[in-house]
Homo-oligomer: A and B are copies of this chain.
């Protein structure tokens, strides 16, 4: 079943100990779509500026990504730049130029209005709400990402939006900030009261947790000897996770666990090279091979 994603397409400037890119295509919706399109048909809603090149747009072509919802506005694309620390665990933001993204007001094309799976990438909670109002029927699964900026600046809007969300996909520090609770299990219980019935907590090199009312599922990160650039890994994780769920049309515990594994797989490929380069040339068979590798490195028998 098709999957609607609303989020950013950006140009990123990235410095890591492994190299430097002044201007490479990025943005949550880019990483999400590239990852999810291996599993299902993706409907993309976002805005780009006049500087968005035909060459960059091509990365969405020849995939199961519908770009009808790709709006073009006067001005420049969202630009973001950062520098990663030696071990890639910390980063300094060097620039955030919203440009056309500042006035983004997502419009859902009529043909996307019956979307059954919706991912609201990290944008203003009021815009995330606006997207849901444009979707005709209650989707099967609405998932949402957010960040410290919205948790701090627009807590009321975020609380209102969360009432209509099934799965919150955020990182551990955001989980703690949103719930005002250090312990992640207690944090999840707080967040369940806000609306979501499940929380996916991304922990970078430590893997990810799925917490829902039936319990906890832990998946390790895929161990890599030479990660190059963590940019977009969380968005690609969300793409693998939601893409898998939309593709299989199930939301059983077994399906959610597999979705966590495919999220992990997509995040792990993303960090191997700068920007979305590794995702762009990724083959579906590589995804399944890595999923089997994660199976091997996490499974055991007690007897």
Residue A102 CB within 8 A of the other chain? no
Q: Flag the segment in A71-79, A142-150, A211-219 that touches B.
A: A211-219
Chain A 248-266, CB-CB to B under 8 Å as 1, else 0, gives: 0000001001101100000
Residue A95 CB within 8 A of the other chain? no
Decide: B298 and A298 in contact? CB cutoff 8 A.
yes
Residues of B within 8 A of A139 (CB): none
Q: A291 CA to B300 CA in the complex, in Å?
A: 11
Those of A216-253 within 8 Å (CB) of chain B? 216-220, 223-227
Size bin of chain A's contact surface: 35 or more
- What is the minimal beta-carbon distance from A103 to any residue of chain B, in angstroms? 40
Those of A163-192 within 8 Å (CB) of chain B? 182-186
Residues of B within 8 A of A260 (CB): 300
Decide: A300 and B258 in contact? CB cutoff 8 A.
yes
Decide: B207 and A301 in contact? CB cutoff 8 A.
no
Decide: B215 and A297 in contact? CB cutoff 8 A.
yes
Decide: B223 and A216 in contact? CB cutoff 8 A.
yes
Decide: B87 and A182 in contact? CB cutoff 8 A.
yes
Residue A92 CB within 8 A of the other chain? no
Residue A53 CB within 8 A of the other chain? no
Decide: A258 and B302 in contact? CB cutoff 8 A.
yes
Decide: A300 and B296 in contact? CB cutoff 8 A.
no
Q: A209 CA to B297 CA in the complex, in Å?
A: 10
Q: A254 CA to B203 CA in the complex, in Å?
A: 27
A215 and B296 in contact (CB under 8 A), knowing A183-B225, A206-B206, A225-B185? yes
Q: Give the residue name and chain of the B residue nearest to A224 (CB).
A: B185
Decide: A182 and B299 in contact? CB cutoff 8 A.
no
Decide: A300 and B225 in contact? CB cutoff 8 A.
no
Q: A94 CA to B298 CA in the complex, in Å?
A: 38
Chain A 46-79, CB-CB to B under 8 Å as 1, else 0, gives: 0000000000000000000000000000000000
Top 9 A-B pairs, shortest CB-CB distance: A218-B220, A257-B300, A206-B206, A87-B182, A185-B225, A216-B297, A216-B223, A218-B298, A185-B223
Selected A-B contacts with CB under 8 Å, 9 pairs: A185-B223, A186-B225, A217-B298, A218-B220, A219-B300, A257-B300, A258-B301, A258-B302, A299-B300
